[in-house]
Structure 1
Amino acid sequence: MAKYRLLYEHLSRIGIATRYNTYISSPSPREWLQLAHEPAYIDRFVQGLMGAREQKHLGLIWSEQLVARTLTAVGGSVQTCRLALRFGLACHLAGGTHHAFSDHGNGFCVFNDMAVAARTLLEKDGLKRILILDCDVHQGDGTAHILADDPRVFTCSIHGKTNYPFEKQRSDLDVALVSGTDDTTYMAALNQTLEQLDQLGNFDLLIYDAGSDVHQDDRLGQMQLTDQGVKDRDIRVLDWAAKKSLPTACMIGGGYDHNHQRLAERHGLLFETADQFYRRQFCLDS
């Protein structure tokens, strides 16, 4: 949990997070959660009724603070999508909890914020079609499962073939990469994927999971992307979306390191790239 605070402090220190561009989110209401999750599961979590086995499967110990943090993070994902529709690009300092299924949590993910956000924007904001591009090193299995029968959302996951989760779900488009994939190989796969997505027509919104766990120093990633490789990935996605006039909401996704400061700085690469891209797009430095 420390990485979230450290990420904000890092972005504030380098001048990216300021009072002029930072928004505070509110907790997600139950109405939004129920668009992607079973009411019984929501109750078990919010009311602290999860058993030891379920908590172990989730990987988190229940507390009132965890409930508050989780609901606020999901609310932040919805807000980030709405800010993206308003400004063209927005980034969430959390989000990407793609292992949560409709009736249970998984892999440190309580609720699936991207599925909740997509369904909320479709049901409440009048959007017709949303693309979820998940570039976290771990497959977005919960997202794929929740949205499998929803033609309004196209799910695409670029992930490690042999990495967690070991039982994969079927996204609308899955791109499985071998362990040890480097910058060049990753970018080739990304470019090919974006070419395939080009054939799908128009979307109203892109939800982008920019997991930093593809980095070569991530302790669970098994990939070999450098700092520049991660930046190149993000700029390629943002440029692709901008050329299609596609509003983009970015989530930080996964990242793992015993050194939390170093991890926060790796997550910060997304915000540095997005900040530079946004300034170029709107000539804010001129």
Structure 2
Amino acid sequence: MLMSIPFVYHASYSQLALPSTHRFPTSKYHNLYQHALKQQLLFEQHRYTPSAISKAMLYGVHCPQYVEQFINGTLDHKAMRRIGFPWSSELVTRTLHAINGTRLCAELALEYGIAVHLTGGYHHAHYDFGSGFCIFNDLIIAAKSAIHSGKVDKVLIFDCDVHQGDGTATLAQGYPDIISCSIHCAQNFPSRKQQSDHDIDLNKGCTDKNYLEHIQQILPYLIRLHQPDLIIYDAGVDIHQHDDLGYFDISNQGILDRDKQVISIAKMHRIPLAAVIGGGYSRSEDELTIRHSQLLIAANQIWSSPS
């Protein structure tokens, strides 16, 4: 029985200076970290702190010129505007640690059965450009690293962020052992969808019942079809009915039920699960913390309980 969930966190995740009007909720990572410790959903002795990812690992998935230009601050204004951040050394530091954090989370999941990363899910990052607050694709990098370690043969990226994982879709096409599945709002960003291995397009206003029925059907099907050795789960909470950038009608209870479903199915099939918190946007920091904490509540209720 796993007594406490191993998790990954770095202080740089919330050390990004942005204008007060910026939509990216940079404070939410530190807020979630503090809330999780206070509520004893996570414990400091089971925290793992990532180092910065190496350029060599980034080169393995992304265009080396793009990698260099981002790190050196020489990407043109148009490319940075598409990413959605002003360039800064703090952004570089945050990015390199966050990307390696998901890779570390996957390693921990393979060792302990489950692990959580208190950021991650940068699924709009493509081979040679970033988009939608995503610079490098941590999901693909973590999956590829796990396969190259020799510990797994096939990885399923199960993406439940409200926005389609278009970067993951395009990058995964080059890796037959990485299976991409995106469950997203058909009418939301990005306007031009890419082709994942499996796309589930749900309409605006999707309710708890409809959403959870799709989760319950698709994940066991994908496991039977692909027999993955690791699941990387993007537990985005921008599916919430009051999310600033989401168009679904999912409640806090719906988020908890989704996370419990995903964790239960992975546990039942004895497949290690590496979870990243994904997207979530709200002017209310407290509400956002509660939404993201559902993943940690679910992990404690499901994975930490006796089989």
TM over 0.5: yes
Please say if 1:236 is aligned against 2:261: yes
Deviation at 1:4, TM superposition (A): 0.9
8 A Cα contact 1:7 1:93, kept in partner? yes
- Secondary structure in 1 aligned to 2:148? helix
Cα distance between partner residues in 1 of 2:152 and 2:220: 23
Whole-angstrom CA distance in 1 between matches of 2:64 and 2:152: 24
**Take 1:150 and 1:279, find their aligned partners in 2: how far apart are those partners?**
33
Distance 1:198 1:204, change over 3 A: closer
Between 1:261-270 and 1:172-181, the stretch displaced more is 261-270
Q: TM-score, normalised by structure 1?
A: 0.96
Partner SS state of residue 79, structure 1: helix
Aligned residues: 282
Structure 1 runs of 4+ with >6 Å offset = none
Alignment partner of 2:111 out of 86, 89, 106: 86
> C-alpha root-mean-square deviation of aligned residues, in Å?
1.2
User: Secondary structure, in 3 states, of the residue corresponding to 2:304?
Assistant: helix
Aligned residue for 1:20, secondary structure, equals helix
Structure 2, gaps ≥5 residues long:
1-25
SS in 1 for 2:115: strand
State which of 36, 54, 57 in structure 1 corresponds to 2:82.
57
Residues 14-163 of structure 1: pairs in structure 2 closer than 5 A: 14-163=39-188
**Offset at residue 264 of structure 1 (A):** 2.1
Q: How far apart are 1:127 and its partner, in Å?
A: 2.2
Give 1:82 shift: 0.5
Residue range with higher mean Cα deviation, 205-214 or 16-25 = 16-25
Q: Aligned partners of 1:215 and 1:281: how far apart in 2?
A: 30
Q: SS state of the match for residue 156, structure 2?
A: strand
Q: Distance in 2 between matches of 1:172 and 1:228?
A: 29
State how far apart, in whole Å, the 2-side matches of 1:56 and 1:201 are: 37
Please state how far the C-alpha of 1:20 moved relative to its aligned partner: 2.3
Partner of 1:12: 37
Q: Find the residue that maps to 2:192 and give its secondary structure.
A: coil
Q: Deviations over 1:172-196 (max 9, x none)?
A: 0000000000110001111221242
After TM superposition, give the deviation of residue 126 of structure 1 in Å.
4.0
> What amino acid maps onto 1:9 in structure 2?
Q
